[in-house]
Structure 1
Amino acid sequence: MSQTGDSLIDAPRPDRRGAFFLLFFSLMAIGAGNTMLIAAVLPPLTRELNLPDWMAASIFALSAFFWSTTSPIWGKRSNTWGRRPVAAMGLAAYGMSMTLLFVFGGLALNGVLQGSVLIFICLASSRSLFGIFSSGVNGAAQAYVADRTSKAERQSEIALITSGFSVGTVIGPAFAAALVATVGLLSPLAATAVIAFGMAAAVWFRLPEQRDPVSDATKFEDDMGGRGLWRSGPVLPFLIFAVCLSLVSGILTQVFVFSVMDKLHVEGRQAAQFTGPAFTVGALAVLMAQLVLIPRLKMKNKTLMWGGCLPLLAGAVLLIFAKDYASLILAQFFIGLGSGLARPGFSSGASLAVSPQLQGNVAGLVISANGMGFIITPFFGLFVYEYVNPHLPFIFCAGLLVFMTLFARFGLKDGVGEFIADDDESA
């Protein structure tokens, strides 16, 4: 089949919907595993092993570095190899990463693996496997959807597919809390590994791939204008916003876990009973934004971006003053609501800013930007929280969100990254 956008959009709707749901469940598996790791496994594990708090964030930071550097590569590879192989490979690598974390975590808890530096290296290397290879899953999924949707459909369909990750974050904390309480601290890692390997097989054998591979990737890049895409006028503003949002998300997510443990005076496995439900509330707010508010309100991408910053700002400010569990839960609700609005705004905006042939490229850039903030989260987040002032990370996020609101409201040109009806939108 030809690789032009129109022919892909014309794919049969039942077949397209089944493929979208398969990718939805793949992203759900990643979302569930990541939230279980962040909220219920790694922070309690590092404290039980007497590792400093910043080491937990550094494990995520190193993975985020590889995620950001490899996402554009896998986005381009999805143009040449196809979306299916890249997504399947990333899911398999995710399963392997969780398997190694389970093994090394168990060895450390049982005293076989000793020494904070050695434990850190083993855990960080295992998580980095996810960053290097699994960064292709999100980009391939987003590009797959963009290949098969018209401009008018893209915002809602990308919101739907990315909500799979949010559904996973709803299921993950509650599932992890139950597993940790009944089976053990590391049991969510083993469960996630099995699910990830299963989804990799399902994508490889069941996802229909209708895109013809491009034999000459270099010529394709030159002909389609893919080189230097990240700094092009229509795309760069969305990437700037995405980097800022990833920094805010990284700080609010990672510092929140330790803030809950310190404010509620809980440690280790008991912490999962509090952080899990809190993240579930936040994830439900994401779903409400992406599955209810966005389809009903039909706001412009620009409006979704600056409008999403407002509840995020409310959540960051609330975390500064929160003293009880109810306030922490409410803060997570605001954070989830804001993220659920803002992320589809810049993701679909960047997609609409480029041609159909460059959807893999721009998806890789967006996924890369989504991870960049997590690289420096240990410095702006947990290090400052632990050694300077526990309120300062949230104050920093509040200030950055004010900038992002003004940037999205007044810095984005009207019409950039928005659907404009034309003759080729008949699909």
Structure 2
Amino acid sequence: MIPPDMSRPDRRGAFFLLFFSLMAIGAGNTMLIAAVLPPLTREIGLPDWMAGAVFGLSALCWSLMSPFWGGRSNRWGRRPVAALGLAGYGVSMLLLFLTGLLTLTGVLTGTFLMFACLAMSRSIFGLIGSGTNPAAQAYVADRTSQAERQSEIAFITSGFSVGTVIGPAFAAALVATLGLLSPLLLTAIIAFTMSAMIWFRLPEDRAPVTDATQIEEIPGARGLWRSGPVLPFLIFAVCLSLTTGVLTQVFVFSVMDKLGVSGKEAAQFTGPAFTVGALAVLLAQLVLIPRMKLKNKTLMWGGCLPLLAGALLMVFAQDYANLILAQFCIGLGQGLARPGFSSGASLAVSPQLQGNVAGLVISANGMGFIITPFFGLFVYEYVHPQLPFLFCAALLAFMILYARFGLKDGVGEPDEDEAADAL
């Protein structure tokens, strides 16, 4: 059944507003990962694994709070939760800027104190900033038919990917001209601006539910994460999160070590590499997915193939060209696989549970990053630099088999009658 406001003229404008909001988050995150935090931690003398631990603690908060915010978006409405998340993201980036400034100027000293301040600042993103993604995904699910859910979710999530294209390019220029911490301040300003735009401009006709029992009494709301239709998609999402987390975080340090660069100079190499990866995500989400019309299950196992190629390339790559190619493969794989399980989980539940399942999917997206510092950066630094990539290759091989043969046919796919009507 098509939602009643499917033909509203403001729907596309609302989707674009959410697109740009996720783009702001994507740009800021990539600037932080690719150009700011790794060089900053090496500049102030923190071990590499602590940079990963900063993201790991934030990911723990993200995974714990995303289901909460997904449920709150059912009760309060999608708009206020999305706006609150962006405001929290802005606060997090502002505090990271201030912490970095204090450490570089020598006001803040001591390994534990510097790490604690960085970790707590970033954790605000996980605690509060995690509200934007599930609210945005649920907003789209409220306003799309089953047949268009996959392509529209891919469009919204591609906003994050556009941000990751813009982020590294801006980060390299900003770091070179205005200093290492300038991307953080710019991101905070943009996040606060987008929060205000969401609050004042996003159409929200869906009345918030003031009675909590109306949410709790929805069939299937309790224990949704372990239900038969949803759990397989969440398992795949956690595995993909772990894989991409390791590949993303270790990639930065691997580039610095293989090319013999560090500090500000590193951003000139890691920034363009992440831009290529993000362009590959856009190729998958804005070109391949709308045209290929593949099943969600096929997108999941098919997306793991280029990811596997990227992981193996990282084992053998010794020059910048192969590192760029590896990042392209990683981006292409993410761009195919993420909309597959996100759309599949959404289609596996009723319209009343879209906020709940969106929160679970976003939570699963962050779970892998909780242990990434141990499977990735710690192993890279203290065991063997190629082992994280071999671990990812083995996990991806399992995921291909799991998605291809472990998922039931038809689960998480559009209703055949509705899909036929849409065509």
Band of TM-score, shorter chain: over 0.9
Q: Which residue of 2 aligns with 1:108?
A: 103
Deviations 1:85-118, CA, capped at 9 Å, x for gaps: 0000000010010000000100100000010110
Cα 1:85–1:248 shift into 2, 3 Å:
same
In the alignment, structure 1 residue 10 sits paired with structure 2 residue 6: yes
Aligned Cα RMSD in Å? Answer: 1.2
The aligned residue for residue 156 of structure 2 is 161
- Following the alignment from structure 1 to structure 2, what is the Cα–Cα distance between the partners of residues 323 and 186? 29
CA distance in 2, matches of 1:9, 1:342: 29
Query: Residue 72 in 1 paired to residue 67 in 2?
Result: yes
Gaps of 5+ in 2: none
Partner of 2:225: 230
Task: After TM superposition, give the deviation of residue 8 of structure 1 in Å.
Answer: 4.5
Q: Distance in 2 between matches of 1:26 and 1:425?
A: 33
1:351 aligned onto 2:346: yes
Q: In the TM superposition, what is the alpha-carbon distance from 1:365 to its structure 2 partner?
A: 0.1
TM-score (norm 2): 0.98
Residues 288-333 of structure 1: CA deviation (Å, up to 9, x unaligned): 0000000010000000000000000000000000000001000000
2:193 corresponding residue in structure 1: 198
The equivalent position to 2:298 in structure 1, one of 297, 300, 303, is 303
| Residues 1:121 and 2:116 are matched in the alignment | yes
For structure 1, which segment, 200-209 or 413-422, has the greater mean C-alpha deviation from structure 2 after superposition?
413-422
Instruction: State how far apart, in whole Å, the 2-side matches of 1:425 and 1:31 are.
Output: 35
Deviates more, 1:364-373 or 1:417-426: 417-426
Residue of structure 2 equivalent to 1:29: 24
Instruction: State the alpha-carbon separation in 2 of the partners of residues 223 and 65 from structure 1.
Output: 28
Contact 2:379/2:388 (CA < 8 Å) preserved in 1? Answer: yes
Tell me the percent identity. 78
Deviations 1:323-380 (A, max 9, x none): 0000100000000000000000000000000001100000000000000000000100
Conservation of the 8 A alpha-carbon contact between 1:91 and 1:134? yes
Answer yes or no: is 1:263 the counterpart of 2:245.
no
User: Contact 1:9/1:150 (CA < 8 Å) preserved in 2?
Assistant: no
SS at match of 1:381: helix
Which of 370, 373, 376 is the equivalent residue of 1:375? 370
2:92 paired residue number? 97
The residue identity in structure 1 corresponding to 2:242 is: L
**1:7 Cα deviation (Å)?**
4.4
Cα distance in 2 for residues equivalent to 1:145 and 1:223: 20
1:340 aligns with 2:335: yes
* Match 1:283 to one of 268, 278, 283: 278
- Can you list the C-alpha shifts for 1:147-170, whole angstroms capped at 9, x where unaligned? 000000100000000000000000
Q: Does 1:48 align with 2:43?
A: yes
1:217 corresponding residue in structure 2: 212
Instruction: Quote the Cα distance in structure 2 between the aligned partners of 1:174 and 1:64.
Output: 25
Contact persistence 1:251–1:381 (CA under 8 A):
yes
Q: Is the 8 A contact 2:56 2:373 kept in 1?
A: yes
1:62-85 CA-to-partner distances (Å, cap 9, x unmatched) read: 000000000000000000000000
Contact 2:94 2:185 in 1 (8 A): yes
Are the aligned partners of 2:147 and 2:419 in contact in 1 as well (CA < 8 Å)?
no
Q: 2: distance between equivalents of 1:63 and 1:93?
A: 13
Matched, 1:365 2:348: no
Change (3 A) 1:424 1:52: closer
* Equivalent position to 1:317, from 294, 312, 315: 312
> Which residue number in structure 2 is paired with residue 63 of structure 1?
58
* Maintained 8 Å contact 1:8/1:210: no
Cα separation, 2, equivalents of 1:189 and 1:307: 35
Instruction: Show the counterpart of 1:292.
Output: 287
Cα pair 1:348 1:417 within 8 Å, conserved: yes
Superposed displacement of residue 210, structure 1? 1.2
Partner residue in 1 for 2:395: 400
The code of the aligned residue for 2:377 comes to L
| 1:158-214 residue CA offsets vs partner (Å, 9 max, x unmatched) | 000000000000000000000000000000000000000000000000000011111
2:3 & 2:259 partners in 1: Cα distance? 56
Matching residue's letter, 1:187? S
CA distance in 2, matches of 1:424, 1:174: 40
Aligned to 2:184: 189
User: How many residue pairs were aligned?
Assistant: 422
The answer on 1:328 being equivalent to 2:323 is yes
The answer for the alignment partner of 1:19 in structure 2 is 14
CA distance in 1, matches of 2:77, 2:27: 26
What SS does the aligned partner of 2:27 have? helix
Question: Which one-letter code corresponds to 2:330 in the other structure?
Answer: I
Residues 8, 147 of structure 1: 8 Å contact kept: no
Kept after mapping to 1: 8 A contact 2:258/2:318: yes
Instruction: Tell me the TM-score normalised to structure 1 length.
Output: 0.97
- What amino acid is aligned across from residue 240 of structure 1 in structure 2? I
Which amino acid letter does the alignment assign opposite residue 107 of structure 2? V
- 1:390 aligned onto 2:369: no
Which residue does the alignment assign to 2:174?
179
Q: How far is the alpha carbon of 1:219 from its aligned partner?
A: 3.8
SS in 1 for 2:10: helix
Task: After TM superposition, give the deviation of residue 215 of structure 1 in Å.
Answer: 2.0
Residues 218, 352 of structure 2: 8 Å contact kept: no
